Copies of this chain bind each other. A is one copy, B any other.
Amino acid sequence: MEDTETFSLGNCVPRDGGTLPDAKIVFKTYGALDADRDNAILFPTHYGGTHVNNEWLIGPGKALDTNRWFVIVPNMLGNGVSSSPSNVGPPHGGASFPHVTVYDNVALQHRLLTERFAITHLPLVIGFSMGAQQSFQWAVSYPDMVERCIPICGSARTAPHNLVFLEGVTGALRSDPAWNKGLYTEQPTAGMRLMGRVWAGWGASQTFYREHLYRQLGFTSLEEYIVREWEDGFTQGDANDLLAMAWTWQHADVGATPGLDGDFERALGRITARTIVMPCVTDLYFPPEDSAIEVKHIAGAELRTIPSTWGHQAGGGADPAAAAFIEAAIRESLAR
């Protein structure tokens, strides 16, 4: 993709086994790294997104102000830009792509920062949704490196209900006979569209629909919103990519960091970053209750709930009021 750089990591072995051959993280940077390499902000991507989807917060004068900060956006493994089922050849691509965890993403991003940029200090790690999951993992894996952490509409581990929600949407994709257990020759678009239709109920809130807020996005009817925003959206990618990222999501758990014996609370206890956990009050799959539990186990962490009726998507900038709320939190955090 345009203006991106590629960091090659060679053959990698994910935490849970398998082979990621000639692994690549495709990333984009914004702003300039200071001479002392002390002004970097890391902003990982979310499910189905690329670095482009993060750019609403990045730029001169924006919350992640590139006049001061050097923002690095690494594309998540599986998103079709970094190493993914869709761009890795046989025998490790497509349906044979290895299971990659949030932990793996963060470990490889750490290599990017240290080996490519010699960065050893991150004033901020921030992310939305699965980007928030990577942010939590960063603060657990490298507590001495992460000064601030702002996970937005995401969790340090995937809650059981969130896992069930993902069973539904991935089951929808897999229901298409054209999927053929991942050995398709053409994209299983009927399954991808159904995935979008099922997701439509989850990605926005009951109030968003009751108040017809999709009209603010330019859609004239509920059905048009479902088709154009959700069904069409899920046909933009690759089916195996979508399933690979969903596997990563379903298995997210900072407690599974090697050496922690699966101890979730102990993992959160390792975080020293000044953390602002930002769920959205109407998020149906990352509900604020999970964030409240996490905050209890992170020293000094603040729970700052986004008061939006837009549901999960509020964390991605779709709701202008929520976007302003998020931007204010970032500015405040970076000013301290």
Which A residues form the contact surface with B (CB < 8 A)? 159-165, 167-169, 171-172, 175-177, 190-191, 194, 197-202, 204-210, 212, 222, 226, 284-285, 287, 289-290
Contacts and interface: CB of A to CB of B under 8 A. Distances in A.
21 contacts: A160-B209, A160-B222, A161-B210, A164-B200, A164-B222, A164-B226, A167-B197, A167-B201, A168-B199, A168-B200, A169-B198, A171-B197, A172-B175, A172-B194, A172-B198, A175-B176, A175-B191, A177-B177, A206-B285, A210-B290, A284-B284
Contacts of A289: 206-207, 210
Nearest to A176: B175
A165 B164 CA distance: 15
Contact of A201 (B165, B194, B208, B226): B165
Report the copy number of this chain in the oligomer: 2
A289 B163 CA distance: 26
Given A198-B198, A201-B161, A206 B172 contact: no
B290 A209 contact: no
Contacts of A159: 206, 209-210
A284 B311 CA distance: 13
Contacts of A167: 197, 200-201, 226
Nearest to A293: B210
Nearest to A204: B161
A176 B209 CA distance: 28
